[in-house]
A and B are shown apart, each in its own frame.
Chain A
């Protein structure tokens, strides 16, 4: 069933954009301008190298309408140094975020220690220092948030969460896509399903 049938196109929902670019300075500014011009907030942004030398990947999570995200992704594709831009909904990708929690070392709440909680939450202890320890959990936002709530009674010192990294369910290779693009004389838009 197509997504258009599930929701009206104007209802805001979450989208993950995956943008392949040349490794050039200033691109992050060019990308964010497209959002700020439309007064749309970026929920998270991750920039990373890819398996192809000289090619970077931006993973952008935002909440907006289907019409607007279609408009945005076309504007992103228009940027000269963008190789490709793809928009995904939750069921089209595998994605994770990493969260770090700094907590006091010997805290006990309701007879439970942090170690108990950590082992039950699929998290791990990353570092143990004299006064505190750092816990790491990888997962979706709601999972890392869940652990956050559980750790709060222990006197959480600091919490930080990364931007989303996402991988699509497509089997196409990035390198193959770039090669196809190089050989093509038509627009990068015509290459779909990535």
Chain B
């Protein structure tokens, strides 16, 4: 134990007459010791008045806890998200009260909708000032309540171990999500007899419902009788670590699989039963075949409107099996024939012995015929243009080939996001990191920092548009200071491309405030001390990608791409998945 002030040990007799060793320490030290006990190695954060005692304690824990100072609290929370997404464990961030805390909210909302475990710790004004509109006081409990899985305000040091133990348990178990612990400054200063026990049970919270055998049997019967069964892979497969079980299940039953945006990388794109990507800008076959299958097996996904299009015309012909850990998602958007309420892994393990060995060659061929249509009408021209401006898709395709689909790809929000996730050929799980549900511009750069910290041995590529880059561009400073070897790709079309695409298609080309007069990204990046290069010609692309990926440390590659390129296929808002447009 290192330099902890006022440390002396005493004993506390607990109710059950178990004598536990306690240490008399300050609340601020207790916060850090709790984090260490939970296996936390890295914290992303930003100091300020109300969290200064914790930062003061942190000074003495630098050999045990790696604190990364971001340039904005939004950067801290997105970085914590990125780390959580590649490690499967709760990411941790610190912020002060008031504006520090409110700056976390976007990231917390993002984590809530994308089921990402986070433990956010905010400082709060001293408890005697609560409710007085004190300097930097804000009701972070009230503000964060709708976007957290759980939150708790600590006003006495004695509550710290309880709150943090619960926080990690709740964030990490069941359907993961963000929690927030707000700690008043006086609770950080106060001394108490510290002891830590991990939380293992909360009587009102049952994170792992067990699949009922009757549901498993009913689902297996539907699967065994199906002529055109179809698997939709959601993020739940990766969250429950069911990647291998999914492959065993799909290979035994011979059922084709498509992935949602959040489900991407849960199954290798090279798997023969993988047929593509679902949703608004997904692949042609996976969308239209949804309305032709006879049994739809949705695994750990929530039928988001970007996946379903018009619900009244979504898979109406199919019997729907929904494997889902969160009961509130069952029958929310799509009514199920059989619902299996458990995590994906347990459900698949339960189904495996019940399903018959089968093949669906003709049915899978139908997907391949669709692939050919999509290739001829969309993909070929996107990947292999003879002349003209560089297309986003060809850049992603080249990077995918050079990295052999092995990188972690962190995307921002917009056209480049859809293109990156369409054309990057993921081979490894937990590699597609994107803001799916909330669609948070500015997500990618800080999330990529967290991904790099979580998986330092892997190549981490942040794919960002020129709009989103400027929402969290200040995190270049963090990347430099903490030497995070993130590879940043800016696909620059000088437009807020996705909004512009909608304006072109649905608002008669009225480009209302979507054109950007951008700064010199090269100069800015170099100003932060990070290598940067810009490509405007197709013939320079390969060499630039090679240099960018192979140089030491962080580097930025800006590619000037087609100004008014559109992402197709597209299921227009409110249309049926069967009405997917190829142009």
Contacts and interface: CB of A to CB of B under 8 A. Distances in A.
Interface in A135-194: 178, 181-182, 184-190
Nearest to A37: B146
A80 B326 contact: no
B204 A81 contact: yes
B204 A82 contact: yes
B142 A29 contact: yes
Contact of A33 (B145, B208, B327, B328): B145
A75 to B, nearest CB: 5
Given A77-B327, A77-B328, A83-B203, A186 B209 contact: yes
Nearest to B170: A80
Most A CB within 10 A of own CB, among B146, B204, B208, B331: B204
Interface in B65-114: none
A49 B288 CA distance: 54
A181 B141 contact: no
A57 to B, nearest CB: 14
Contacts of A74: 327-328, 330, 332
Contacts of A71: 328, 332
B-side interface size class = 20 to 34
B149 A187 contact: no
Nearest to A70: B331
B147 to A, nearest CB: 10
A75 B327 CA distance: 9
Given A37-B146, A71-B328, A71-B332, A188 B341 contact: no
Given A37-B146, A71-B332, A26 B141 contact: yes
A22 B202 CA distance: 11
Interface in A48-99: 70-71, 74-75, 77-78, 80-83
A30 interface: yes
A185 B210 contact: yes
Interface of chain A, helix or strand or loop or mixed? Answer: helix
Given A29-B145, A80-B149, A181-B204, A186 B210 contact: yes
Contacts of B149: 80
Interface in B316-334: 326-328, 330-332
Contacts of B341: 187, 189
A68 B205 CA distance: 23
B145 A26 contact: yes
Interface string B149-164: 1110000000000000
B204 A188 contact: yes
A82 B203 CA distance: 9
B128 interface: no
A22 B141 contact: no
B109 to A, nearest CB: 12
A29 B142 CA distance: 8
A185 B142 CA distance: 31
A186 B150 CA distance: 20
Contacts of B204: 21-22, 80-83, 181, 188
Contact of B327 (A21, A184, A187): A187
A32 to B, nearest CB: 10
B202 A80 contact: yes
B119 to A, nearest CB: 14
B271 to A, nearest CB: 32
23 contacts: A21-B204, A22-B204, A26-B145, A29-B142, A29-B145, A33-B145, A70-B331, A71-B332, A74-B328, A77-B327, A77-B328, A80-B202, A80-B205, A184-B206, A185-B206, A185-B210, A186-B206, A186-B210, A187-B206, A187-B209, A189-B209, A189-B341, A190-B209
